[in-house]
């Protein structure tokens, strides 16, 4: 069950939003101004905040900025003003949606569902960052490479180059692509830099140099059966 914080200095608006939100199955907490909302967010976790812009003590925009310093809670802002610059300002400070008063409670609940769905946590697929190719072991998080059980000693750029090749194994990579991704857009040099580092990397890998395949006239590929 999602927990919603409703922040508005008008009791009737809080009451209406609460009734519709609870009917939809949400848990609701109320706050009468921005200062109270900031305090509640420091002490509790909420899945969504519905907050008025114009309130005493601390306005909605300021409250939103304060809350987002510590917690990334999605916010639907309520306002009697519909000027474009107000909405743009709201989006710039991290507001997820903007509803103009007077509003339809049913429409507000529809927007609540959309924002909650959009902000729901979806775990990212696990990314493999440790690889083994015969006697070659590549530990990307630890920035370590082992050749037949012995730790290889390589330059920082050799590590970067190998890690990029391995993460994109069996994909043909042009010299320009390698320059762009490993050295960066602002690198001042030419593709011979790639060839030189590939030669150094192959020397460091010994017999496992075989995995780095030259693509004539194009670039390189880390080629393996996996």
User: Tokens for 94?
Assistant: 């991290």
User: Tokens for 37?
Assistant: 């909302």
Residue 125 domain flag: no
**How would you write the pLDDT of the chain (226 residues) with one tens digit per residue?**
899 999 999 999 999 999 999 999 999 999 999 999 999 999 999 999 999 999 988 999 999 999 999 998 999 999 887 666 667 777 778 788 888 888 999 999 999 998 898 777 444 455 678 999 999 999 998 999 999 999 999 988 899 999 999 999 999 999 989 988 887 754 555 667 889 899 999 999 999 999 999 999 899 999 998 6
Q: Exposed, middle or buried by CB within 10 Å (0-12, 13-18, 19+), for 24?
A: middle
Strand order in the sheet with 27-31: 27-31, 3-7, 48-52, 75-79, 97-100
Handedness of CA 205, 206, 208, 212 (dihedral sign): positive
119, 141, 158 - which closes a domain: 119
Other Cβ atoms less than 10 A from the Cβ of 72: the count is 10
Same domain, 24 and 97: yes
Name the pTM for this structure. 0.53
Same domain, 145 and 111: no
What are the start-end ranges of the E strands in the chain?
3-7, 27-31, 48-52, 75-79, 97-100, 130-133, 136-139, 144-147, 150-151, 173-174, 212-215, 219-222
For 186, the domain range is 130-222
């Amino acid at each position: 069950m999602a927990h919603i914080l409703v922040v508005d200095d008008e009791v009737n608006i809080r009451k209406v939003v609460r009734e519709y939100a609870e009917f939809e199955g949400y848990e609701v907490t109320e706050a009468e101004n921005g200062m109270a909302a900031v305090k509640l967010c420091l002490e509790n976790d909420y899945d969504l905040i519905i907050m008025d812009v114009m309130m005493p003590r601390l306005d909605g925009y300021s409250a939103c900025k304060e809350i987002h310093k510590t917690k990334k809670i999605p916010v639907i802002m309520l306002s009697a003003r519909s000027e474009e610059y107000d909405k743009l300002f709201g989006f710039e400070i991290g507001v997820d949606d903007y509803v103009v008063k007077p509003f339809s409670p049913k429409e507000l609940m529809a927007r609540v569902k959309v924002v909650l769905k959009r902000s729901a946590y979806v775990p990212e697929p696990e990314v493999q960052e440790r690889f083994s190719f015969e006697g070659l072991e590549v530990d990307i998080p630890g920035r370590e490479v082992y050749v037949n059980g012995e730790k290889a000693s390589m330059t920082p750029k050799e590590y970067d180059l190998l890690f990029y090749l391995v993460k994109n194994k069996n994909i043909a990579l042009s010299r320009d692509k390698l320059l762009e991704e490993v050295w960066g857009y602002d690198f001042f040099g030419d593709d011979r830099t790639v060839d030189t580092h590939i030669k150094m990397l192959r020397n460091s890998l010994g017999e496992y140099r075989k995995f780095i395949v030259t693509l004539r006239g194009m670039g390189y590929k880390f080629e393996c059966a996996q």
